[in-house]
């Protein structure tokens, strides 16, 4: 069975070999098909990408893309450019203007006259983009430099223009679908930073087929190199997305989130699912982008819908944790790699449990996957490196990035187990308290805004005291390996004694999925519902929803009974904040609870109110969007978390 592993957005860097053999039809298409190019005069910042004149490889050279940037200099006499990850593959053409910035390897500076319209152009070699017969694809963070000031409120619209292909071409990106010889996407100002919407987005054009399903748009080469069409991919993607939304959103909100993208053209585009050839014949890869996923499938891949969902689930989880839990990095610092243990490791933990819970993995398959990960972890010489060293190496080393994700998954297992032993429903419920609405989704934030990991630590300390910070310092920052034991995977699995330095060989306990403890560990069964309200007080809300204040869930008594009528028993949980503070955006202000049937006026009113309060706590625990977290990391010196 081919190995299946999710990859980080830089996946296109390793595809240089697939770029060779680009046919000359793309080069000939530059002569034009007679169609007028899109009007981009209103674009204050414009990126243009298309085949270079010698796309087929002039003089025996490799095919290439042309990347151009136009922006307004404003009142400045120089502008800084934030470089994409694939900068080494970009060669500036004409008179070079982008100069190095001392001590800032991720930036360049361009001198210009005040008010000048600055125009720069580069040649992009294969390696940062995938060039294939009839089409090309790339990720923004590997290709598109970002000028400072482009995201300012008065900067004007930003645009991405793809061009230079035949008139029957199809263009797909995180921003939508287009057809023709070129495509222009205008990116109006939103709450999501422009850097994320440009550099974290995915783009493709050429001979492509596409099919929509609720919430997703599946795109793959035409003709397909596999026994797979766009309709099959779209159906599998819609199922995977619906499962992801069920995990985090209420039933009604999940259904609306899936359906609205195909009904209201003014809303966000659907998730793009782009299938591409894999660089190796025995490996299937999946990667997460802004509003997009990539699947790299080897030649002859013949998996079914379940196999597609097994690929999509971890990638969706990584995209969700990167976008929906608040910033993971400080703006301009490029420190997001330090928190890969959360964005990728916790995502893998959640996705693997979801695959087991949804029946896409059997317990034996889950155990086999975890046994393989533990064995790989123990065999890796770099497993004891500090997190800072792994983060620095991760940009060029898949091994380093994989170690960060593995550490995060083992940490998630540890905290989930600790929360369960403390009478809590587990890590899922703690994470639901950190969820922010899509309008606030961002991967970077100012220093004044607590990171998602800061808020999560503050929430966990309410129950686990100093264990979370201690675990982070030892196992993440310092690189101390985890100790694997028979119960490391929770009550669904066990293992016999293992030799020193060896991983246990975990196996499912008999009838695991029918046992209450195992069901609760997976987030199933009545025991979870009973536990969801065990922490009635939310920690202070900081930097989310526009307010920094103290919010808590308060039980409000049910209505008194009128003469001859039944009382509404129980209570409802109300999210109350200090005067002037806003409830976290995206949250529900109240979680209604209690029995609607009520009790007759009289002796059982108090007992019924208490029962209703417990029920209300359960409802509150299921209500996403109530963002918890202290005003700052309680251990301010550990801001790197």
Confidence at residue 252, expressed as pLDDT on a 0 to 100 scale = 54
Q: Phi and psi for 452 in degrees, rounded to 5?
A: -55, -40
Q: Is the pLDDT of residue 206 over 50?
A: yes
Question: For the segment 128-146, what is each residue's pLDDT rounded down to a tens digit?
Answer: 788 887 899 999 988 899 9
**Token representation of residue 47:** 């990126």
CB 211 within 8 A of CB 220: no
**Could you tell me the pTM of the whole model?**
0.75
d(CA 141, CA 621): 37
Question: For the segment 416-448, what is each residue's pLDDT rounded down to a tens digit?
Answer: 999 999 999 899 989 988 888 777 778 888 888
Compute how many other C-beta atoms are within 10 angstroms of the C-beta atom of residue 564.
7
d(CA 310, CA 306): 6
d(CA 45, CA 160): 9
Q: For 6-20, 164-178, 331-345, 567-581, which range has the lowest pLDDT when averaged over its residues?
A: 567-581
Confidence at residue 14, expressed as pLDDT on a 0 to 100 scale = 42
d(CA 165, CA 33): 9
Instruction: Give the pLDDT band of residue 338 (cuts 50, 70, 90).
Output: very high
Question: For the segment 480-510, what is each residue's pLDDT rounded down to a tens digit?
Answer: 999 899 999 999 999 988 777 777 899 999 9
d(CA 558, CA 22): 70
Of the candidates 259, 219, 230, 262, the residue with the CA atom closest to the CA atom of residue 242: 259
Instruction: Give the pLDDT band of residue 453 (cuts 50, 70, 90).
Output: very high
Question: For the segment 133-185, what is each residue's pLDDT rounded down to a tens digit?
Answer: 789 999 998 889 999 989 888 888 999 999 999 999 999 999 999 999 999 99
d(CA 336, CA 387): 12
**Token representation of residue 162:** 């793809």
CB 429 within 8 A of CB 532: yes
Q: Is the pLDDT of residue 569 over 80?
A: no
d(CA 632, CA 540): 9
Find where tokens 């703006």 sit: 331
Confidence at residue 36, expressed as pLDDT on a 0 to 100 scale = 64
**Token representation of residue 166:** 């035949």
Tell me if residue 413 falls in helix, strand or coil. Answer: helix
Q: Is the pLDDT of residue 235 over 50?
A: yes
Q: Is the pLDDT of residue 585 over 70?
A: no
CB 276 within 8 A of CB 294: yes
Q: Is the pLDDT of residue 538 over 70?
A: no
Q: List the 158-163 sheet strands across, edge first.
A: 90-92, 117-124, 65-72, 45-51, 158-163, 182-187
Q: How many CA atoms lie within 13 A of 348 on its CB side?
A: 29
**Token representation of residue 489:** 């995977």
């Amino acid at each position: 069975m081919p190995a299946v592993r999710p990859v980080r957005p830089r996946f296109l860097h390793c595809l240089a070999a697939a770029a060779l053999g680009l046919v000359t039809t793309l080069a000939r298409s530059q002569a034009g098909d007679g169609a007028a190019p899109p009007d981009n005069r209103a674009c204050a910042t414009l990126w243009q990408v298309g085949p270079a004149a010698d796309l087929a490889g002039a003089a025996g050279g490799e095919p290439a893309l042309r990347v151009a940037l136009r922006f307004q200099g404003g009142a400045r006499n120089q502008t800084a450019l934030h470089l994409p990850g694939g900068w080494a593959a970009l060669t500036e053409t004409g008179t070079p203007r982008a100069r190095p910035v001392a001590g800032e390897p991720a930036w360049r500076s361009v001198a210009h006259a005040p008010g000048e319209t600055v125009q720069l152009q580069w040649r992009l070699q294969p390696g940062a983009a995938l060039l294939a017969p009839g089409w090309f694809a790339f990720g923004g963070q590997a290709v598109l430099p970002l000028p400072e000031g482009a995201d300012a409120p008065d900067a004007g619209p930003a645009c991405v223009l793809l061009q230079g292909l035949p008139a029957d071409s199809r263009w797909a990106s995180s921003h939508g679908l287009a057809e023709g010889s070129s495509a222009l996407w205008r990116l109006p100002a939103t709450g999501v930073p422009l850097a994320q919407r440009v550099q974290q987005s995915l783009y493709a054009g050429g001979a492509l087929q596409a099919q929509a399903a609720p919430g997703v748009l599946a795109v793959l080469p035409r003709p397909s190199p596999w026994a797979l069409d766009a309709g099959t991919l779209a159906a599998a993607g819609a199922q995977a997305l619906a499962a992801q939304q069920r995990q985090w959103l209420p039933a009604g909100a999940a259904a609306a989130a899936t359906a609205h993208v195909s009904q209201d053209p003014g809303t966000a585009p659907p998730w793009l699912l782009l299938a591409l050839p894999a660089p190796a014949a025995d490996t299937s890869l999946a990667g997460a982008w802004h509003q997009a996923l990539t699947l790299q499938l080897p030649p002859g891949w013949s998996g079914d819908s379940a196999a597609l969902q097994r690929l999509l689930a971890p990638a969706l989880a990584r995209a969700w944790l990167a976008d929906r839990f608040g910033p993971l990095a400080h703006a301009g610092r490029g420190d997001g790699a330090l928190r890969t243990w959360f964005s990728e490791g916790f995502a893998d933990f959640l996705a693997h449990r979801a695959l087991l819970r949804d029946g896409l993995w059997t317990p034996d398959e889950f155990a086999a996957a975890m046994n393989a990960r533990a064995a790989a972890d123990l065999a890796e010489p770099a497993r004891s490196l500090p997190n800072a060293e792994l983060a620095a190496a991760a940009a060029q080393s898949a091994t380093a990035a994989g170690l960060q994700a593995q550490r995060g998954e083992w940490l998630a297992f540890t905290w989930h187990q600790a929360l369960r032993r403390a009478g809590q429903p587990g890590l899922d419920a703690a994470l639901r308290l950190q969820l922010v609405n899509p309008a606030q989704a961002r991967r970077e934030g100012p220093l004044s805004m607590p990171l998602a990991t800061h808020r999560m630590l503050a929430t966990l300390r309410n129950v686990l005291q100093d264990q979370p910070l201690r675990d982070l310092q030892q196992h993440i920052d310092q690189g101390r390996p985890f100790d694997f034991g028979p119960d490391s995977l929770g009550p669904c699995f066990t293992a016999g004694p293992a030799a020193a330095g060896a991983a246990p060989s975990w196996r499912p306990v008999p009838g695991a999925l029918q046992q209450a403890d195992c069901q609760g560990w997976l987030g199933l069964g009545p025991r979870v519902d009973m536990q969801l309200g065990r922490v009635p007080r939310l920690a202070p809300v900081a930097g989310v929803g526009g307010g920094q204040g103290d919010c808590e869930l308060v039980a409000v008594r049910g209505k008194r009974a009128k003469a001859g009528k039944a009382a509404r028993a129980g209570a409802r949980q109300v999210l109350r904040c200090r005067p002037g503070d806003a409830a976290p955006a995206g949250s529900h202000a109240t979680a209604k609870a209690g029995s609607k049937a009520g009790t007759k006026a009289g002796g059982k009113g108090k007992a019924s109110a208490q029962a209703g309060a417990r029920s209300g706590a359960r409802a509150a625990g299921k209500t996403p969007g109530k963002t918890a977290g202290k005003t700052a990391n309680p251990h301010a010196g550990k801001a790197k978390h």
